[in-house]
Amino acid sequence: MPKAVRYHANSVVYFKGDTNDRVYILKSGKVSLNYNDIETGQEIHDIINTGEFFGVKSALGRYPREETAVVLSDAAMVVFSVPEFEQLVLKNTRIIMKMLKVFSNQLRRMHKQVRNLISEGKDGLEPEEGLFRIGQYYLKSQKYHQALYAFRRYITYYPSGKYASEATTHMEEAEKALQGGGAPASMAGMGTGGGKPSQSAEQREELSETAKKYYNAVSLFSQDNFQAALEEFKKIVQANNSEEYVAKSQFEIGRCHLGLTQYDKCIEHYTQMIKHYPRHPDLRDALLYVGNCHEKMGNTGKANGFYKKVLSMSSENEVIYRKAKRALRELEVSK
C-alpha cells in the first residue's frame, strides 16, 4: 500500500548514491533535488512542485539515486514501491505520457551533449546533408538497395535541395547496379541470404524506368527549369505505367504551374486532381498551393478560405499546419 509520510524541514528523503526503489509524490511543502550538472559541475537545485513525482527514473531503472532530495519546508508526500507505482500509472496513462515526454526530452539533450564531446567542434550535420551523405556511404560500400532508399528519401524531402540532381544521378547508378548485378550486392555484409521484395523482374524494370523519368523531372524542377519539368511530368501521366508515379506527377504538375506563375492553370489542375484523387497523400499541400495562387491573383478572401481548410485538416504538430498558419498570418499583415 502507498504510504503517506511527513518530513520536517531540512531533512533528507534520500541521498545521491542511495539505492532504493521508492517513488514519491509531493502533496504539500517544498522539496529540492540537488545535483551537479554533469557538463559544468555546477550545483543545481530543482524545486519539486506539489503534485509532482520524484525519484521515478532511478527507481524504475533500478540504479542509484542521482540527486539528493532535501526537504526545504515541512512536507507531506506519498511513497510508492515500484510495483505500486506501476499499478497506479497503468490505470492512468496520462501520467505515463507526460513522463515519456519529459524523459524523451532529457534523452535528446544527453545525446546532444555526448555528440558534442565526441566530435569536438565538428558539429552535427544538417539533416539534409546527413541524409545525402548516408546515401553516398551506401553507394560507396556497394549496398545499392540501401543507397537507393536514402537517395529516394532525400529527393522526397528535398526535391529542390542542393544535392537533388546529384542524388538523382546516384539513384540511377544504384538502380543500374541492382539490375545488372544479379545477386544484389546490397545484401553483402548483411549476413543473410537473398530475399528481394516479391515483384517480378519485369515489373520492377517497368517501375524503375518510370521512377527514373520521375526523378529526372524532379531534378529539372529543383533547378527551377519548370517548363521542361512540366513536360516530363505530363509524359509520365500520359504513359500511365505506374499508378504511384502518375499520382505523384499530377501533384508536381501543379507545382510546375505555380513555378511558371500560371496561377489559374495551377488552380484548375489541382481542382481536377482532387476530384480524381480525393485521398491524394499531398492533398493538403495542393490546397495550400491553390490558396497561394488565389493570393497571388489578389483573391485574398478565397486564399483565406483555402488556408483555413488546410488548418482544419491538420493537427498542430504537423509541418503543413505551420505552413498554413504562416500563410494566414502573412495574409493578415498584407491586408
Partner 1 sequence: MNVDLSMFERFAVTFQPGDIIFCEYEPGDNFYLIQSGRVQIVKILGDIEKNIDILQPGEIFGEMAILEEAPRSATAVSLDKVKALEFNRENFEVLMKGNPQIALKLLKLFTKRIYDQKRRFMILTLSNIEARVADVFLMLAEDQPTEDPDEDQRTFSTKVEDIAHWAGMSYAECKKVLNHFAGQRRVEIYEDHIIVKNINDFQRFVSSQRKKEKAE
Of the candidates 38, 44, 76, 297, which one interacts with partner 1 according to CB under 8 A?
38
- Provide, rounded to whole angstroms, the least separation between the CB of residue 143 and partner 1: 8
Nearer to partner 1, 143 or 213 (CB): 143
Phi-psi region of 331 (alpha: psi -120 to 50; beta: other; left: phi over 0): alpha
- When asked if residue 44 is in the footprint of partner 1 (CB under 8 A), the reply is no
Identity of the residue numbered 330: E
- When asked if residue 15 is in the footprint of partner 1 (CB under 8 A), the reply is no
Grid cell in block for residue 334: 498584407
Nearer to partner 1, 10 or 93 (CB): 93
**CA gap 48, 152 in Å, rounded:** 47
Closest by alpha carbon to 266, among 235, 287, 282?
Answer: 287
**CA gap 255, 230 in Å, rounded:** 9
Nearer to partner 1, 108 or 308 (CB): 108
Query: Between the CA of residue 95 and those of 51, 149, 233, 279, 309, what are the distances in Å?
Result: 11, 38, 50, 36, 34
Residue 187 DSSP one-character state: G
- When asked if residue 276 is in the footprint of partner 1 (CB under 8 A), the reply is no
Nearer to partner 1, 145 or 213 (CB): 145
Q: Please count the residues of this chain forming the interface with partner 1, following the rule CB under 8 A.
A: 62
Q: Which residues, numbered 52-111, are part of the site for partner 1 (CB under 8 A)?
A: 56-58, 60-61, 63, 66, 86, 89-91, 93, 96-97, 99-101, 103-108, 110-111
- When asked if residue 299 is in the footprint of partner 1 (CB under 8 A), the reply is no
Strand 53-54 and strand 12-14: pairing? unpaired
Of the candidates 65, 145, 170, 269, which one interacts with partner 1 according to CB under 8 A?
145
Grid cell in block for residue 280: 491524394
**CA gap 130, 150 in Å, rounded:** 10
- Provide, rounded to whole angstroms, the least separation between the CB of residue 97 and partner 1: 6
Find out whether 52 and 25 touch, Cβ atoms under 8 Å: yes
Grid cell in block for residue 330: 502573412
- Provide, rounded to whole angstroms, the least separation between the CB of residue 231 and partner 1: 31
Enumerate binding residues for partner 1 (CB under 8 A).
38-39, 41, 56-58, 60-61, 63, 66, 86, 89-91, 93, 96-97, 99-101, 103-108, 110-111, 113-114, 117-118, 125, 127-128, 130-131, 133-134, 137, 140-141, 143, 145-146, 149-150, 153, 157, 184, 186-187, 190-197, 315, 317
